[in-house]
Structures are given as structure tokens and as C-alpha cells.
Structure 1
Amino acid sequence: MKKSSFTVVIVLFLAACGHKEQAYDASGTFEAVETIVSAETTGLIKQLDLEEGQVLKAGETIGYIDTVQLHLKKKQLEAQITAVLGKKPDVPAQVAAYREQLKQAQKEQRRTTNLLKADAATPKQLDDANAQVAILKKQIAAQESALDITAAGLTKETLPLSAQIEQLNDQLLKSRIINETAGTVLVKYAEPNEMAVAGKPLYKITDLSTIVLRAYITGSQLSGVKTGQKVKVLVEEADGKYKTYDGTITWISGKAEFTPKTIQTKDERANLVYAVKISVKNDGFLKIGMYADLALTNKP
């Protein structure tokens, strides 16, 4: 009985040791691409609907910055454009008198031509009628040209004003706080009714659906890894067990560095290591800064 009990104790002890000893080739911590979203215009934050830990969609409007002054400036510029364009000449109205004279001159020209055919007018009278028609046509052309130049000049005067309106429209658009990157809000830097300044951070966001493990391998392991390689990532749970994830090596550093103090590789004799990044699909358990071990399962 004693021998049997002793055997059971040894088996349980070895099983426990085997459970704790996990085979791994490197260690590291999880990180993610963090994006700091800043204000694009200056003004009072009227609305900012987000909290730390909130998941945002790409293109989601989460607030806006006060735009009253921008709207008033835009109205002022639009009024200036209207005033300038109001000075444009009405070309048809201003040449109407000349055109009426031309009609009469052309009518006289036709009458004189008919009289000349009936020997009731002289060639000189027809020449005078033709000259009058030609003069009036040139006067109309000159008047229209002058009026067109004036109108074009006034239109050009409005171009800088129109450009300013486009700038205001862009600022009005940027006054809307739109989340461009889908992800989880990590830090909130501003609150409603605070003053926003262009370039001032509003919040930090990152996409945690896929997280990156930055691990370190030795020079002797370097030949056994390549980008695109499938690996196993082991994360210790609260009960001491390990949770395993599938990962893919996406980057291998081309430069050696000294082992970070917080990281211990399998080969403790190596002073220089190479950083690698492993992309891991996150089920919600993985967090930034969490430690994990790397097992190079499918070695080429």
C-alpha cells in the first residue's frame, strides 16, 4: 500500500511539472498600432460622445467643434461675392440701342439698294448706307468687347472670395469629429466644453481585433524563421494553464540588439537577439503589454 501511494505521488508530481513546463522558443509582449486622433480646427468642443474602452466604427461621427464664427464668415464672403457680381454690366441691355440703330440702318440700306435698281438713288447714297451699317456693327462689337472685359474682371475679383469660402467649407467639415479608424478607445484626452486647438489630441484608439506579439529570438534561431511562417503563441491564464493561439510572423528585424531586460529568451547565453512581430487574432482575452511565449512550430 505504501509503495502504491508513493508511486501515485510521483506520477502526480511529474504531471504537475509537465503542466507547468511549456516548450517555447522566445518570449515577448503584445502591442498594437495606436492612433492618436487630434483636433483639426480650433474652437469649443460642443459634443464628444466617446468613453475609454468604447468600440468605434470607421466613419462614425462622435462630436463636433463650435462652428458659429465659421458660418458667419462664410455668409460675409457670400455677401461680398453677390455685391461684386451685382456690378456686372447687362450686355444685351447696354447694346440694345445700337442694335436698334443697326436695324434702321440695314432697313435704309435695303431701301437704297432697291431705289438704285430703279435709278431713283445714286451709288453714293448706297455707299453712305453701307458705311453706316458697317460703323454700327463695329460700335456694337467694341461695346460688347468692353462690357465682356468688365464682366470678366468682376468675376475674377470673386475668385479669391470663392477660395476663402472653400477653405471655410473645409474647416466646417473638419469641425465634425469623425472617427476614421475602427477600434477601441484607449485614452480620452478631452471633454465637451473644453477648448480644442488644431493638433491637440482628443483620444487614442487602436484596433484590438488583431494584436501583435513582439518577441525576441537568438541568432541561432534566426535561420529557422521567415515571414509568413505559422507559429504558436502561448499565454498564461489566471489558473496557471496556458492558452494557445495561432500566429503568423509578419516582420523580422534585420538588426541585432541587446536582450531587453524584461525579456528572457530560451538561450540565456546569447547577448544579442533579433526582434520579430507575430500577428495574432484576438478573441478579447489578449491585452496590450501582456506577456506571451512563442513556439516555432512549423520550422522551415
Structure 2
Amino acid sequence: MSGQSALPRESPLPGVIAPAPVVRGRRRLRPILAVVVVMLLGGAGVAWWLTQPPAVTAFVHVYGTIDVRQSQLAFNNNDRIARILVQEGDGVKRGQLLAELDTTRLQANADKAAADVEAARYTLTRLRNGSRPEEIVQARAALAAARATEANDRLTYTRYAKLARANAESQLNRDTAEQALKVATANRESAGQALALALEGPRWEDIKVAEAQLQAAEAALAFARRQLADAQLDAPADGVIEDRILEPGDMASPDRPVLTLDLTNPIYARVYLPERELGQVRPGMRAYLETDAFPGERFPAWIGFISSTAEFTPKTVETTEVRAELVYRMHVYACNPDGRLRLGAPVTVVIPRKGNTPGDNAPAARGAQPCG
């Protein structure tokens, strides 16, 4: 019975009373109460921590990788490649000759167009100058000869007509003399018109036609020379040759790239800005790039672009933030004259919060800040 179990038992030793047994239920209850108390205290601490405002740090840290802009270089013409002057990995400067096409046909077209321009120019000059003095003298002489012939034929006709009326000459000779006079009169009128044209010069319409023909020939020459210039492939900017796609002897065309050029200066880091930092970071602000390849070194940079559309953090971006958090894609530009920042290298972008206004870096907002 429960009342008897609580009484002290007799000890096997004389005169010693045995202690009362400990209740087992109390032993189990004490650890459970301790765990509950710890959980309550921990929950209260977590709730207090969550309600506290986040600590404001001196820098914004975002993470991403180095990205390099590339240009696919192709000839703006169709012909066979004569030579390629660069190899993969070569550094090139803006305007440097990289490759050339076979110019045999293009040079012939340019020469023909130049000759057409010369011919059209001389034709226009001749029309503008009008008739030469010798041509006018010749026209006057032709008119004088026609007048003399007409006068002689008129006398002959008058004589034959008088004799025919007296029946001293045949009617046939009279008619022949009359027709010769008509021909002489027409020749005299033609010579007079020829002299008038020689004195007046060419029509203004003919001059306009010659001017238009000269303009067409000059346009054809400019096009031929442009085609000849397009036979050379020049570097559009400083960079490094990434790949030789075609080789000498291949047929080039505007839709077939010959070389791939990496525009390595400036480069930019493709990073993702958390939504809560959007109000603190603006284009044109100063920043620094840190990379594992050069520990302890910071590369000066500037904020160039912030996307206007939110997205979820890509799985390839390693950050300490929750991956489901909304972020904004951002480009952070940096000068890279030594080529130490390579494509695909992971970087940490450090953006100072204080004393960092975009006013002094306005061109940087468009990624146009020069790199000396």
C-alpha cells in the first residue's frame, strides 16, 4: 500500500535506519522541465533578435564573376582570305590591321570606276566650254559656201527660165536648174542654223545630263574604293584575340566571323544586388573588386548598370544570402590594363556607403569611363 511504502525500512545493521527510497517519477520530470525552460528562453531570444533592426555596415558586399565583352570580327565583303596577321592570345590596338582579302577583282573595279569618272568629267567640261573658235570659223565658212552655191544656182535658173520662155532652151534644163536652186537654198539655211548652234553652244539640258552622269560615276568610284578598303579587317578597339575561326584560303563573307576579339579594357563584373540594398547603390558610385587570385589586393571599379527588373538569385552565384531572395543584376566596371582579371573569375564587389556619390562619376553610369 502507498502509505506503507513511504515509511523507512529497517537497516540490516542494528540501530541504523535505512533512507527512504526516491520516487522515480520526479527523476524523469526534472530534465524535461529543464529542456522546456531552455527552449522558451531560446525562443524568446530569437524573437528579440528578429525584431531588432539590422546593423548598418560600412560597405555593401555583392558577389559575381568577371565578364568580358566580345566582338565577332567579319569582313564587310565577299572574297577569299589572303592572310591573317594575328594569332590567338595576341594583344591588339584599335585600328591595327588584322587580316586581308584577295584584292585582285576589287582593285580592277576601282580602276574602272576611276576611268569612268575621268571620262564623265571631260564630257561635262567640253559641254560647259561650248564650241571652239575653230568650229565657229568652220561654220561661218560653210555658210558662205552655201550662199555662193545658192547665188550661182539662182543665176543659172534665171538664165534657163528666160531661154525656155523663148523656146531657146529645153524645159528639162529649166526644171533641173530650178531644183538645183532649191537644194542650194536648203543647204544655205542648214549652214546658217549650224552657225547659230555653234555660237549658242550646247543645251542646258545636255549639261545637266553630263553633270548627273559625272555624279553617278563618282558614286560608283566611292563604292569601289569602299569595297577595296573593306578588304582589310582592322581592330575596332583594344583587346585580345580569343579565337581564329577562319584561315587563309577560306571564303569570307559579312555573315562569317573571322576572329573573336575580347574587349578586355574595361571589363565588368556581373553581380546581383539584394533588393534591400537597392536604395543605397546607384550608377556611378565607386567600388572595389576583390578576387581569390590576388588576395589582399583591391581593383578600383565603378557601378555602371543596374537592372530595372528584379529576378531570383541565380544558382551559380555564391552568396551568404538566401537564394530565393529578389536581386537586381548589376555591372561593375573596372580597368584591366594588365589583363589580370580573367573571364569567369569569381569576385567580391565592395561598395563603400559613406562619401560615395555618383556625381563625380557621371560617365561611369554608362560604362564609358576611360581607362588610361
In structure 2, the partner of 1:210 is 266
CA contact (8 A) 1:230 1:298 kept: no
More displaced 10-residue stretch of structure 1: 184-193 or 146-155 = 146-155
**C-alpha contact (below 8 Å) 2:74/2:258 kept by paired residues:** yes
* Aligned counterpart, 1:33: 69
Amino acid at match of 1:94: E
Structure 2 residue 88 is the aligned partner of structure 1 residue 52: yes
Matched residues in 2 for 1:81 and 1:75: separation? Answer: 10
Alpha-carbon distance change, 98 to 54 in structure 1, aligned in 2, over 3 angstroms: same
Q: What CA deviation, in whole Å up to 9, does each residue of 1:72-130 have, x standing for no partner?
A: 2334445556667579677213223356899xxxxxxxxxxxxxxxxxxxxxxxxxxxx
Measured at CA, do residues 79 and 272 of structure 1 come closer, stay the same or move farther in structure 2, by a change above 3 Å? Answer: same
Q: 2:344 aligns with which of 266, 289, 292?
A: 289
2:334 aligned residue: 280
Give, in angstroms, the shift of residue 285 of structure 1. Answer: 1.6
What root-mean-square deviation, in Å, do the aligned CA atoms of Structure 1 and Structure 2 show? 3.2
The 2-side partners of 1:36 and 1:271 are apart by 36
Query: Deviations for 1:214-261, whole angstroms, at most 9, x for unmatched residues?
Result: 1112111212212222223210128xx453222211121111011111
How far apart, in 2, do the equivalents of 1:77 and 1:294 lie? 58
Superposed, 1:189-200 pairs within 5 Å as 189-200=245-256
SS at match of 1:227: coil
Highest CA radius of gyration, 1 or 2? 2
Q: Percent identity?
A: 21
1 CA distance for matches of 2:285 and 2:211?
64
Aligned position for 2:40: none
The reply to whether residue 263 of structure 1 matches residue 263 of structure 2 is: no
| Local SS of the residue matching 2:97 | strand
**Which residue of 1 is the match for residue 147 of structure 2?**
none
Aligned residue for 1:213, secondary structure, equals strand
| Residue number in structure 2 paired with 1:63 | 99
> 1:274/1:157 Cα in 2 relative to 1: closer, same or farther (>3 Å)?
closer
Residues 1-300 of structure 1 mapped to structure 2, 5 A cutoff: 25-79=61-115, 91-92=131-132, 93-98=134-139, 142-145=197-200, 147=202, 150=206, 153-154=209-210, 156-237=212-293, 241-268=295-322, 270-282=324-336, 283-299=338-354
Q: Which amino acid is the alignment partner of residue 308 of structure 2?
A: G
Confirm or deny: 8 A CA contact 1:25 1:265 kept in the other structure.
Answer: no
Amino acid at match of 1:298: R
User: 1:28, 1:213 within 8 Å by CA — same for their partners in 2?
Assistant: yes
Using the size of structure 2 for normalisation, the TM-score is 0.57
Alpha-carbon distance in 1 for matches of 2:226, 2:232:
10
Q: Which of 53-62 and 69-78 deviates more?
A: 69-78
Distance in 1 of aligned mates of 2:119 and 2:267: 58
CA deviation after TM superposition for structure 1 residue 262, in Å: 0.2
Take 2:199 and 2:83, find their aligned partners in 1: how far apart are those partners?
Answer: 55
Q: Unaligned stretches of 5+ in structure 2?
A: 1-58, 144-190, 357-372
Could you tell me whether the CA contact under 8 Å between 2:66 and 2:268 is conserved in 1? yes
User: Partner of 1:255: helix, strand, or coil?
Assistant: strand
SS in 2 for 1:254: strand
Q: Which runs of 5 or more structure 1 residues have no equivalent in the other structure?
A: 1-22, 103-135
Cα deviation, 1:18-43, whole Å, max 9, x if unaligned, reads: xxxxx972210111221211111111
Q: Which residue identity does 2:348 align to in structure 1?
A: D
Q: CA deviation at 1:296?
A: 2.6
Structure 1 counterpart of 2:186: none
Scaled by the length of structure 1, the TM-score of the pair is: 0.69
- Deviation per CA, 1:1-56: give whole Å up to 9, x if none: xxxxxxxxxxxxxxxxxxxxxx9722101112212111111111111101111111
More strand by share: 1
> Compared with structure 1, are the counterparts of its residues 237 and 76 closer, same or farther at alpha carbon in structure 2 (3 Å cutoff)?
closer
Task: Point out the more displaced range, 167-176 or 275-284.
Answer: 275-284
Q: Secondary structure, in 3 states, of the residue corresponding to 1:69? A: helix
> How many Å apart are 1:151 and its aligned residue?
5.9
Per the alignment, in what secondary structure is the counterpart of residue 209 of structure 1? strand
Paired with 2:323 and 2:96, the residues of 1 have a C-alpha distance of 51
Q: CA–CA distance in 2 between the matches of 1:78 and 1:267?
A: 68
Q: Which moved more, 1:151-160 or 1:182-191?
A: 151-160
Question: Is the Cα–Cα contact under 8 Å of residues 42 and 198 in structure 1 kept in the other structure?
Answer: yes
Counterparts of 1:157 and 1:144 in 2: how far apart (Å)? 25
Cα pair 1:237 1:243 within 8 Å, conserved? no
Does the Cα contact within 8 Å between 1:186 and 1:206 map onto a contact in 2?
yes
